[in-house]
Structure 1
Amino acid sequence: MRPDHDPAADELPVSSEQTPVADADTTEVIDADPIESDSQSWARAWRDIRDGFRQRELWLSLGWQDIKQRYRRSVLGPFWITIATGVQATAIGILYAALLGQPLTDYLPYVAVGLIVWNVINASILEGADVFVANEGLIKQLPSALSVHVYRLVWRQILFFAHNLLIYFVVLALFGVWRDLHWTVVFAIPALVLLFLNAMWVSVLFGIFSTRYRDIAPILGSMTLMLFVLTPVMWNTNSLREQGGQVAERARLAEVVPTYHYLEIVRAPLLGDDQKLYHWAIVGAITVVGWIAAAIALRQYRSRVPYWV
């Protein structure tokens, strides 16, 4: 027994003021409002998107470094992106214009702009599915919002698109496309905003589930190849409608493919073609539904991604 120990202290009753403290703690845990818990989960998902945007110095730098790293020690650097797309558009334009009997001055600009837009769609799906797996090291070591990697991917695609846009200006000058343009060309700006907004939710949604289920990425690879064939990138729906009859009716099947509508809202104003309102309505509806699905996935599985990668 310690010399300073008071035996009477062992017989002291527990103070009544201490009991409510334990009861209050217990009550707070047991009676926690599930609605408040859900609200905090939604808040965390929104905070991730907001904080990721605020860390723009990080993802702007990383996105630019991705391009520099890919073309390191190259004389032309990122302009190889433009050259590769330009050569592809020229080869396809010349070949298919002859096979389909289309005027080269009309068909090659159509294919060139279609390929530029399709490259964004294709990369958003394929690279979006791999966005978290490819950044495993940063996710585990860098204390940043999960959306930083999505912003980085979309920023990289914007840079690729900007380089490929040089092809459009060359086509504009060489083939006289500028004569067909009118004030509706400004609609290409909101169309591009919608395109990259969709690239974000696609990256969030497919990225999360592809991290959990690794079979999704190869499935998406096969799906994008199929979509490229079904989407009128190299063939024109107008030429089919002009033939009339059953051929014109079959051209409507292209409207079932979602990527067709994304292609049209960007390509039509850039080439001075007539725009259809229903293309914008369909893209807008898909954007809203896609972001709702992405928000739910981010709320439910955001905290598990670091364990899945």
Structure 2
Amino acid sequence: MNIEIPNRNSRDLAASVEPTTGPGVALQDIAEALTKYRLALIFGWQDVAQRYRRSRVGAFWLTLNMAVFIGALGLIFGTLFQSDMREFLPYLCAGIISWGFISTCLSEGCTAFSSSDGIILQVRMPLFTHILRTLWRNVIIFAHNIVIFPVLALILGRGINFNIIWAVPGFLLVCMNLAWVMLILAILCARFRDMTQVVTNVLQVLFYATPIMWMVKILPDHVSRAFIEWNPFYHFIELVRAPLLGHAPTALDWGIPIAFAIAGWGIAIAFFGKYRWRVAYWL
């Protein structure tokens, strides 16, 4: 009995096993993750709850720690810069809380895939769900920490006007930018684990280079402010800090984050579409 085996050349064989790549794959994964957003919400909430399980204060330990940190920095740097505490403390509080959210999202974004390797290797789930999970976890922490600002404003006798409404779309725009950066970092750090330390060191430098603990107006006149105006992290923080302080963000504060979101998502979708299928092998 003769069995006829179909003749397939190596190119046909390679095509049959070649994984599907491209922006379409990335968009499909992201769309599926957004459709199943409840998975990310549940996982993110459990991450915070598990960290403070059996604690009487719970997640508000984050708020207490942040309040002590802001108070210590305010006392030290306010004295060094001879600043008016009624002006400096709210500025520092809003900046520290906003920066804490941004830096933690980016640093934890590096391990978004590698820390979820068990789920990725055993359960069919959109990879972008793990990015949303990390982002949502830090949104919860941000919500706990931001409680400090109105309490501090009340103690210092500072009023809050209607410009605070701008903080909501500003915060959403910040989250949009963080999501694409976290997606790229998660892929890179899944392949190159040393990148996590590189990102940590870069964030430490940016912390001191961004007006968070110091105010722009204290810079001498001869110092160029270009490094501030073109620092995207400064504008990310201003989108949240300026409304909290009673000012509307400037056109530049909106323009640079919007431009970064458009260009960044285009790059992230192309990058994710090309390397998505390799993430499981790198874990």
Q: Same fold, TM exceeding 0.5? A: yes
Runs of 4+ in 1 over 6 A off after TM superposition: none
Paired residue for 2:60? 79
Paired residue for 2:144? 163
Paired residue for 1:186? 165
Would you say the 8 A contact 1:59–1:149 is kept in 2? yes
Paired residue for 1:19? none
Paired residue for 2:245? 271
Paired residue for 1:4? none
Identical aligned residues as a percent: 33
Paired residue for 2:45? 64
Q: Is 2:174 the partner of 1:195?
A: yes
Q: Which has the higher Rg, Structure 1 or Structure 2?
A: 1
Secondary structure of 1:296's aligned partner = helix
Higher alpha-carbon deviation: 142-151 or 254-263: 254-263
Higher relative contact order (CA 8 A, sep 6+): 2
Would you say the 8 A contact 1:131–1:207 is kept in 2? yes
Q: Which amino acid aligns with 1:269?
A: P
Structure 1 unpaired stretches of 5+: 2-9, 11-21
Aligned mates of 1:96, 1:215 — CA distance in 2: 33
Paired residue for 1:45? 26
Would you say the 8 A contact 1:131–1:153 is kept in 2? yes
Q: Is 2:282 the partner of 1:301?
A: no
Cα offset, 1:280, TM superposition: 1.0
Aligned mates of 1:282, 1:97 — CA distance in 2: 30
Aligned mates of 1:97, 1:140 — CA distance in 2: 50
Higher alpha-carbon deviation: 220-229 or 281-290: 281-290
Higher alpha-carbon deviation: 279-288 or 299-308: 279-288
- Of 91, 96, 117 in structure 1, the residue corresponding to residue 72 of structure 2 is 91
Paired residue for 2:230? 256
Q: TM-score if structure 1 supplies the norm length?
A: 0.83
Q: Which amino acid aligns with 2:80?
A: L
Would you say the 8 A contact 1:227–1:257 is kept in 2? no
Cα offset, 1:44, TM superposition: 2.0
- Of 139, 144, 147 in structure 1, the residue corresponding to residue 128 of structure 2 is 147
- Of 103, 107, 110 in structure 1, the residue corresponding to residue 84 of structure 2 is 103
Would you say the 8 A contact 2:22–2:270 is kept in 1? no
> What does the per-residue CA deviation read over 1:159-215, in whole Å, with 9 as the maximum and x for residues that have no partner?
01110111012122112222xx43322111110001111121111111101111112
Aligned mates of 1:123, 1:152 — CA distance in 2: 13
Aligned mates of 2:206, 2:111 — CA distance in 1: 19
The within-5 A match list for 1:197-236 is: 197-236=176-215
Would you say the 8 A contact 2:52–2:59 is kept in 1? yes
- Of 278, 285, 288 in structure 1, the residue corresponding to residue 262 of structure 2 is 288
Secondary structure of 1:135's aligned partner = helix
Q: Which amino acid aligns with 2:259?
A: A
Secondary structure of 1:145's aligned partner = coil
Would you say the 8 A contact 1:124–1:202 is kept in 2? no
Aligned mates of 1:174, 1:276 — CA distance in 2: 28
Q: RMSD across aligned C-alpha pairs, in angstroms? A: 2.3
Q: Which amino acid aligns with 2:268?
A: A
Would you say the 8 A contact 1:128–1:153 is kept in 2? yes
Aligned mates of 2:226, 2:89 — CA distance in 1: 23
> What does the per-residue CA deviation read over 1:218-259, in whole Å, with 9 as the maximum and x for residues that have no partner?
11010000000101110000232xx5x31xx33443223221
Query: How many residues are treated as equivalent by the alignment?
Result: 274
